[in-house]
Amino acid sequence: MKKLNLGNINAGLSTIKELANENAGIARDELIDVSLIDFANKNTYAANDTNDSIRDLADQIETVGLLNPLGVIQSGNRYKLFSGERRYRAITQYLHWDKIPCRIFEGVSAGRAQLMLHIANGGRDYTAEQKLTLYEEYRELLNELKASGEFKGGIQKGVAELMHVSDRQVRTYRTMSEQLTEPEKVDLAAGTLKFGEAQNIAVERAAKATQPTVANATKSGSTSAFSSKTESTKSSLSPEMREDLLRKVIMSGYIWNCEDLLDYYVEMMPTPQEAVKDILKPKYGYHGGTLIMKHFNGSYECTSSKLILQNGAMQTIAAYTYNEADTMIRKLYRDGELCPERQDAK
């Protein structure tokens, strides 16, 4: 069987939607006895179907006919649905047809059949909670297809194609999937745990997982634990005063816009390395200006490696690595101090 040409835009492969066109050439249309049609093993999409919506669809089919046949995979003498479960229910529950027009595909593996179901339902609207469930299903399925040799390309790009989202948004769902416990995921799906709260939990756990200990930070030369003993951040200020000054600088919005920071950390769930590269370091290697706050009147310089604060006499008061800035931003976010009115809304 021909391998799936999915994902991996950089390699010039076809997009995931081309699978439907690829399979269309090997399908045939027939009337199938309803008793021979089985549901897919897993159909998350059916969770949104209600008795009222099925009844409305039955009325529509009775009035204008079945405009699109069901999509089924033939296996021996039986047929498994991958597209049209709601239409099937409407027809069997309210219209009582003996046979249903179907588009039949043969020689399709279980993994490919499940992928076809996802493609057929990809245009629906889903809640953020449902998208996390779909992300996990897509990732598991593409990993299985890759192991069997039916999928070529990057898993993350393939999932992004299926979910119709960016790679960065996929990273958000990946972090939540990795950091949330199974009971928390159940609560999220049930609505007892709000999506924003779940994001906060995931962000905090991810930050702790990537945060080096003080011992490791000292050993490696990193200052993300706010140690004043490392060479790059020597200062006349005590560690507590250094930390408090950095907090005030970030909250002032002079260097980084607080709303932009909040949106970036919530939506992207970056690693510290990604945050430093994407939003904290100056784009062209240097940025500076006047910095006037309560109890501080001076200037700042953002170089390629650190943030330097100077007093009016151009004497260095404190210098921070961007990892330290990242640590403080995550702390402000967890404590609800970073744009608190926006965090309440989220």
Report pLDDT for 225: 43
User: Could you tell me whether strands 70-75 and 287-293 are parallel, antiparallel, or unpaired per DSSP bridges?
Assistant: unpaired
Report pLDDT for 226: 46
Q: Three-class SS of residue 26?
A: coil
**How far is 226 from 181, CA to CA, in rounded Å?**
30
CB 138 within 8 A of CB 153: no
Residue in 14, 20, 268, 23 with CA at minimum distance from that of residue 158: 14
**How far is 33 from 98, CA to CA, in rounded Å?**
6
Report pLDDT for 280: 94
CB 168 within 8 A of CB 275: no
Report pLDDT for 223: 42
Residues in the chain where the model's pLDDT stays below 70 = 1-26, 41-49, 107-126, 209-236, 312-314, 342-346
9-19 as b/e: b if 16+ CB within 10 A: eeeebbebeeb
Q: 296-316: per-residue pLDDT in tens? A: 788 889 998 999 998 866 677
The class of domain 4-179 in CATH terms is alpha beta
Q: Which residues contact 73 (CB under 8 A, 6 or more apart)?
A: 79, 80, 82, 104, 105, 106, 108, 113, 116
How far apart, in Å, are the Cα atoms of 267 and each of 146, 164, 178, 239, 328?
A: 28, 16, 16, 31, 18
Structure tokens at 251: 């909250």
Report pLDDT for 46: 58
How is the chain split into domains, by residue range? 4-179, 211-345
- The single residue listed with the structure tokens 């009147």 is 297
Q: At what angle do helices 167-179 and 128-147 cross, to 10 degrees?
A: 90
